[in-house]
Amino acid sequence: MLTRTPSVVAQVFLLLSIVLVIAIAVIQINQQQVLSPGLKYGIVLDAGSSRTTVYVYEWPAEKENNTGVVSQTFKCNVKGPGISRYESSPGALAKPLDDCLNKVKERIPAHLHKNTSVYLGATAGMRLLRLQNESAANEVLASIQNYFRAQPFEFRGAQIITGPEEGVYGWITANYLMGNFLERNLWRTWVHPYRKETMGALDLGGASTQISFIPEDPEEHSNSTLQVKLYGYNYNVYTHSYQCYGRDEAEKRLLALLLQKSNTSAKVDNPCYPQNYNTALTMKYFFGSLCTQSLRPANYYPTQLVNFHGTGDPGLCQEMVSLLFNFTACRDREDCPFNGIHQPKAKGNFVAFSGFYYTINALNLSGHFSLDDFNSSMWFFCSQSWAQLQFMLPKFEEIYARSYCFSANFIYYLLVHGYNFNAETWPQIHFQKEVGNSSIAWSLGYMLSLTNMIPAEGKLIQLPLKPSLFAGLLVFLTATALLCLLFLIYLCIVSHHRKNVPHVEHVFIPE
């Protein structure tokens, strides 16, 4: 019978084995710890027309929807001019880069150096040099390649990025930092923001300027939009880069026009320079650029000095700046602001950074403000003498201070007459340099895009029991349970057999 002692013992062992198998499995699954595979680092060198900036970025090795959650941890401005200025001596690039790279080595743990990727992106300054002298541009890039071969990092190449790429990367940076791609929910996990609009991006560099935004109807402008995929979502972004419309190159074109209108190079009045400011510039300084090549005089001598005298005339400055834009090429088409370039109507909020921010800051403005406030501040600033200006600026550097009036007028014409912002839409532009500790620059967008191509690290899982011990216990307990079950089946069969044996009665017959 099953009630006998062996049967009871077998049943107890069977139940215990089953309970222990379930308990061990539950503990092994529920008590496991997911260990972070740590941080990854990336270095981007923003090789602009006027200077090179080194950015260090880090992100968790496990990623959100195949894109790293990237943050800026270090920034270093390389001393000296932009890399395009080293066309005649590319070997001289090493020393100024060393200062920043030595600091970067201290910031990134030494054991991660060989796995840290370095990217160099050159912008409009190098785009112009390549058009002007391709072999010189290639020599500059080759010099950078040689320099990084001796560094402990994984160099992924130096390339000249296109204007549209620069615009889109700036748009990605701005929207990433504003939290328009990802946000943390109540449970501290990253999610896509519900119904959150993206912002447009306005970038003003030394040699080019970019405008990027998502138009009202992206499909209508599909020929002029680029598709970007981030965090599992697609975005169709309109972007355009205006070569020679960066702050430095635009001012060179202004100086060339002023000389053209003047009868002599001995004294050229510049209404955009402060009153009583005088400087002597070589013809090569402003005629040496590809942007001013068409304005060169027949008697062009690179080393000849041209004396410029500041008159501080805001009205005349505006008039001269307007000549830098070709507004007639569009023939009054709404979708064509200037230079015959197609552009959808600017929509939504915009963030204006780089040269836009620095000029606005010099006018003692910040963030959001009206177009009237901008105009009155610009007019006041442009009316000051050189002596007065030195007390107005928080940081005084001659090369920038003399040009802020021009920059302000250039920004006005670009935004109002170029991109068609008006008194009503102007407050939608937010002039900003950074968000938190991260600079608004194309380099972060570049890094974010590149992390899409970096495979995520596998998650490291720490289990309560070692796999070998866990497997051994499962095999032992499962075998015990099976043996107990087989023993109980055997007892059942024996018991059933005994029941079915016929009962024979013995009849005793007396003799």
> Residue 347 has which token pair?
């929509």
Distance between CA 393 and CA 274 in Å, rounded? Answer: 13
Strand partners, 211: 202, 240
Strand partners, 55: 44, 75
Give Cα 158 to chain centroid, integer Å. Answer: 17
3-state secondary structure at position 350:
strand
> Residue 246: is it exposed, middle or buried by C-beta count within 10 angstroms (0-12/13-18/19+)?
buried
Distance between CA 308 and CA 400 in Å, rounded? Answer: 16
Distance between CA 385 and CA 409 in Å, rounded? Answer: 17
Burial pattern 19-34, b for ≥16 Cβ within 10 A else e, equals ebbeebeeebeeeeee
Distance between CA 56 and CA 439 in Å, rounded? Answer: 11
Residue 241 contacts residue 164 (beta carbons within 8 Å): yes
Residue 12 contacts residue 89 (beta carbons within 8 Å): no
> Residue 17 has which token pair?
């084995």
> Residue 124 has which token pair?
């409009």
Strand partners, 307: 280
Q: What is the 3-state secondary structure (H, E, C) of 387-402?
A: HHHHHHCCCCCHHHHC
> Residue 95 has which token pair?
């020393």
Neighbours of 253 (CB within 10 A): 20
Cα-Cα-Cα-Cα dihedral sign, residues 305, 400, 323, 354:
positive
3-state secondary structure at position 493:
helix
> Residue 110 has which token pair?
């030494």
3-state secondary structure at position 430:
strand
- Choose among 280, 257, 254: nearest CA to 267: 280
Residues belonging to the active site: 166
Residue-by-residue DSSP string for 474-490: HHHHHHHHHHHHHHHHH
- Choose among 340, 338, 367: nearest CA to 351: 367
Name the phi and psi angles at 493, rounded to 5: -65, -45
Residue 182 contacts residue 223 (beta carbons within 8 Å): no
